[in-house]
Amino acid sequence: MKKLSVLFAAVMMVVSVGMAKAQKIATLDVMGVLNGMPEKKKADADLKTFLDAKQAEIKKKADAGQAKLKQYTEEAPKKTADENKAREAELATLQQEIQQMNDKAQKDFVAKQDAAYEPIEKKLNDVVSKVAKANGYDYIMDANSSAFVFKAGPDATPAVKKELGIQ
């Protein structure tokens, strides 16, 4: 019986080594490739221009708010309590407007970034798939991380979801 278990272990080792050698794995410097693509360089430049313009708008409004704050602070002793209260409300509204501008600029930037990078990522993924199939690679891994960029073979996701009872 002991010989049979040793034989079984030896056979399993040989089979697993054979299976590991059968898979062709390649690596890819994804960021290096992306940064070399002219489309990405143009998208980066366009996004920087967009961001700079939005930041300039916000800075202009913030500077105007700072000037008002300084003016109102200097004039406060000469004004009535009602006037000062109205000025405080005006400054609070201005601060809220600046925050809303900032939030909107951030959302607009993310949307613009997604729209700009989506076709670039699709193009890269299509080329990676084509290269993987042409060279017989089962897996292509990002050289800078452990994430898979392309994989071939069976996907265990549906079986795992079924086993967990999720759709």
Alpha helix ranges (H) inside the chain = 2-22, 30-36, 38-75, 81-135, 157-164
Q: How many CB atoms neighbour CB 28 within 10 A?
A: 19
CA–CA distance, 151 with 23 (Å, rounded to integer): 11
pLDDT digits (tens, 9 = 90+) for 8-17: 544 455 445 4
The pLDDT score that the predictor gives to residue 9 is 46
The full set of domains in the chain, from first to last, is 13-164 (3.30.910.20)
Question: What would the mean pLDDT of 11-33 be, rounded to a whole number?
Answer: 66
Rg from Cα positions in the chain: 30
pLDDT digits (tens, 9 = 90+) for 95-138: 999 999 999 999 999 999 999 999 999 988 888 888 888 888 88
Whole-prediction pTM? 0.69
